[in-house]
Amino acid sequence: MKSNSNKNKTHRRYVALVAMLLAGLAASWTTGGNSDGTTSGTAGSIAPSTTVYTGLDAATIAELRGDFTGAVESMAATEKAIRSMDARFPDERLLWPPMARAYRASLEGLIGKHSLKLLEKFNRVNVAITDYDGLIEAYPESLELRFMRFAFYSQLPGLFGVGSFVDPDRALLPDMLAQGKDKRVPDSHKLEMINWMLKDGKPDKTETTRLKAAATKLGGR
């Protein structure tokens, strides 16, 4: 029975992906999987770490953010960013700093965005979902981790089974942005998060007001 349930779930995800592509939504993907559809880690497994940034200095974090921003533009840039990360962190994925794991998962998802192959898109999304499993739950105070998951999950159809995370993340993020507790995230990066949420995050009126208030507090408009 469990095997049939898993097959049915996979089939529903496949149908959901086809529907999304037909609706022209694939172009909006900005995150998420391995080239062979596998994952280097185990769902929900978090290696011991003091914080999400343990093992990452400011220069490395800035490079991860910059590489990801560039990777949104093309397959070549995405593959280059992945090669760079894999060379920088040669250990098993579960031993990587949690923030590095999140960026790696999101880079894999960008392969899904850029690829013209339907099955590859499907595999990338599934792997990215698996790689995000447990990360935010282990580090709930991390603004950057929560935003990255929200930016990915909020773009997926409900049949991928991650919709239950979207509304809670969207509700929490405005206050997290305004409070400024995550000192490793520069204000300029927080403003980029706010702008993305206002444009693509589908906030309601209350959330929009809170996001704009957070932007004002950070020195934006």
Is the pLDDT at 184 greater than 70, yes or no? yes
Give the model's pLDDT for residue 5.
53
**% of the chain at pLDDT higher than 70:** 77
Domain that holds residue 48: 2-217
Is the pLDDT at 37 greater than 50, yes or no? no
Q: Tell me the pLDDT tens digit for each residue of 1-12.
A: 545 555 455 545
Contacts with 195 (C-beta within 8 Å, 6 or more apart), sequence order? 215
Distance, in Å, from the CA atom of 67 to the CA atom of 57, rounded to the nearest integer, reads 16
Residue with tokens 């929560």: 146
Distance, in Å, from the CA atom of 83 to the CA atom of 68, rounded to the nearest integer, reads 12
Which residue has better confidence, 209 or 32? 209
Q: Tell me the pLDDT tens digit for each residue of 71-104.
A: 999 999 999 999 999 999 999 888 899 999 999 9
Give the model's pLDDT for residue 181.
81
Mean pLDDT in residue range 28-45: 39
User: 3-class DSSP state for residue 161?
Assistant: coil
The one-character DSSP state at 13 is H
Find out whether 162 and 156 touch, Cβ atoms under 8 Å: yes
Q: Tell me the pLDDT tens digit for each residue of 155-180.
A: 887 778 899 999 999 999 999 999 98
Give the model's pLDDT for residue 12.
53
Number of domains the chain is built from: 1
Is the pLDDT at 134 greater than 60, yes or no? yes
Q: Hey, CA dihedral for 147, 109, 42, 102, is it positive or negative?
A: negative
Give the model's pLDDT for residue 50.
63
Element spanning 111, H or E: helix 98-114
Percent of the chain that is helix, strand, coil (3-state, to 5): 65, 0, 35
pTM of the model: 0.77
Of the candidates 147, 142, 110, the one whose C-alpha atom is nearest the C-alpha of residue 125 is: 110
Find out whether 136 and 150 touch, Cβ atoms under 8 Å: no
